[in-house]
Amino acid sequence: AQKITQTQPGMFVQEKEAVTLDCTYDTSDPSYGLFWYKQPSSGEMIFLIYQGSYDQQNATEGRYSLNFQKARKSANLVISASQLGDSAMYFCAMRERLTGGGNKLTFGTGTQLKVEL
C-alpha cells in the first residue's frame, strides 16, 4: 500500500518569506502522481500543483514549486513570497491505481501553515 508522510504538523513563516513543506512517499508502483492541496479553515480543498513520476522537470505554478527528488522519495512544496492568505492546512497526496480500473488519492496528515506579519 502507498503511504504519504508529512512530518511537520505546524509551520510558521513571515510574510514575504519562502517556506518549504515536507512530504515523503512510499510506493512500489513505477507510475504515480503527486499532488498538493490547500485547505483553508472553510473546508474546501484547493488543488495547487502536480508532479508525475516520469516528469523530468520540477513542477511550478506561480508562487508554488515542487522540489521532486525521486531517489529520496520526497516531493516538498515550496511557497515563495508568502502572503497572509496562504495560512491554511496543506496536504500532500499520491494517486494510487485500483484493481477495478479506478484510482484514488492517498493523503498525508497535513501541515498547518501560519503566515505572520
Partner 1 sequence: DAGVTQSPTHLIKTRGQQVTLRCSPISGHKSVSWYQQVLGQGPQFIFQYYEKEERGRGNFPDRFSARQFPNYSSELNVNALLLGDSALYLCASSLVGPPSNQPQHFGDGTRLSIL
Note the residues at the interface with partner 1 (CB under 8 A): 4, 33, 35, 37, 42-47, 50, 52, 91, 93, 95, 97-98, 100-110
Q: Where does residue 110 fall: left (phi above 0), alpha (psi -120 to 50 degrees), or beta otherwise?
A: left
Q: Are 39 and 91 in contact (CB under 8 A)?
A: yes
> CB of residue 46 vs partner 1: minimum separation in angstroms?
8
Any alpha helices (H) in 1-117, and if so which ranges? none
**Minimum distance of partner 1 from residue 64's CB (angstroms):** 13
- Provide the minimum distance between the beta carbon of 116 and partner 1 in the complex, in angstroms, as a whole number: 23
Of 80 and 109, the one with the shorter C-beta distance to partner 1 is 109
Which is it for strands 111-116 and 10-14: parallel, antiparallel or unpaired? parallel
